[in-house]
């Protein structure tokens, strides 16, 4: 039995995500779930472990489209069947405005 060691509960999320790497490369991603400390996404190519990046999320909350942007670090990236690569991104820096959006999404 696998024990979940996550600090915060995850909430499923739909929409679009964009991962911006330090070299400026932009990778579209499909968001899967979100928590207070990170996001899980699916990408078509693997992301390198420990890479710092910017993650931008566009999703619906209630009846409005909201945007969330944060600095993050790749914690894991694994092959996920035919979907592509599932990556876990841990938020490393998020400003107060985006933190308010995050709280709204997790409510």
pLDDT in tens, 5-39: 546 688 999 999 999 999 999 999 999 999 999 99
For the entire predicted model, the pTM comes to 0.89
Instruction: Read off the DSSP letter of residue 105.
Output: H
- Specify the 3-state DSSP secondary structure of 59: strand
**Residues written for the chain:** 107
Domain ranges of the chain: 11-106
> Which residues have CB under 8 Å from 20's CB, separation 6+?
26, 27, 53, 54, 55, 56
- Tell me which fold the domain 11-106 belongs to: Thrombin, subunit H (2.40.10)
**Could you tell me where the DSSP H helices lie in the chain?**
96-106
Span 57-100, pLDDT tens digits: 999 998 999 999 999 999 999 999 888 999 999 999 999 999 99
């Amino acid at each position: 039995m696998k024990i979940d060691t996550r600090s915060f509960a995850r909430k499923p999320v739909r929409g679009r995500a964009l991962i911006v790497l330090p070299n400026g490369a932009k990778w579209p991603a499909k968001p899967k779930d979100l928590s207070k400390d990170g996001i899980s996404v699916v990408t078509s190519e693997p992301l390198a472990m420990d890479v710092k990046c910017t993650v931008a999320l566009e999703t619906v909350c209630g009846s409005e489209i909201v945007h969330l942007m944060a600095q993050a670090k790749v914690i894991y990236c694994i092959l996920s069947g035919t979907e592509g690569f599932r990556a876990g991104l841990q938020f490393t820096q998020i400003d107060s405005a985006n933190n308010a959006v995050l709280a709204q999404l997790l409510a």
